[in-house]
Amino acid sequence: MPFDPESLKYDANGLIPAIAQDFASGEVLMMAWMNAESIQRTLDSGQVTYWSRSRQAFWAKGETSGHVQKLVEFRIDCDRDCLLLKVDQTGPACHTNRRSCFYTVVQNGDEVITAAPMSA
């Protein structure tokens, strides 16, 4: 069946959550949002482009930082309301300069930081 981005289920703001996972290690790097046009741009270019809710603008990941995400695999969930992107991540995915945004773990009721920012 041909894939049509318009066939997905978007929220009231026309957005769908997209999980980025390192294609090689399986590490979950981040979660961000896409609209239909950013999905089309991602598929057309092979470089992941999100929709920035704070800036209300397309967010070509790594455009300014160089920390680009090359699309390796594009997956849709059973309800068509969430995406899983397997990516080839250059450098850190997180704006804190860590590889993954999920560097805080809850252990015995406390928050523990498990990763330091990567050196430049």
Residues that bind its own copies (CB under 8 A): 1-3, 17, 19, 21, 25-28, 30-31, 43, 73-79, 82, 84, 94-96, 98, 101-106, 109-111
- Residue 73: CB minimum distance to its own copies, A: 6
Q: How far is CA 16 from the centre of its chain?
A: 11
- Residue 94: CB minimum distance to its own copies, A: 5
- Residue 117: CB minimum distance to its own copies, A: 11
Contact 103, 114 (CB under 8 A): yes
Cβ proximity to its own copies: between 60 and 86 the closer is 86
Contact 94, 32 (CB under 8 A): no
Handedness of CA 56, 61, 62, 65 (dihedral sign): positive
Looking at the DSSP assignment, which residues form a beta bridge with residue 58? 51
Contact 85, 12 (CB under 8 A): no
The SS3 assignment for 95 reads coil
- Residue 77: CB minimum distance to its own copies, A: 4
Cβ proximity to its own copies: between 77 and 88 the closer is 77
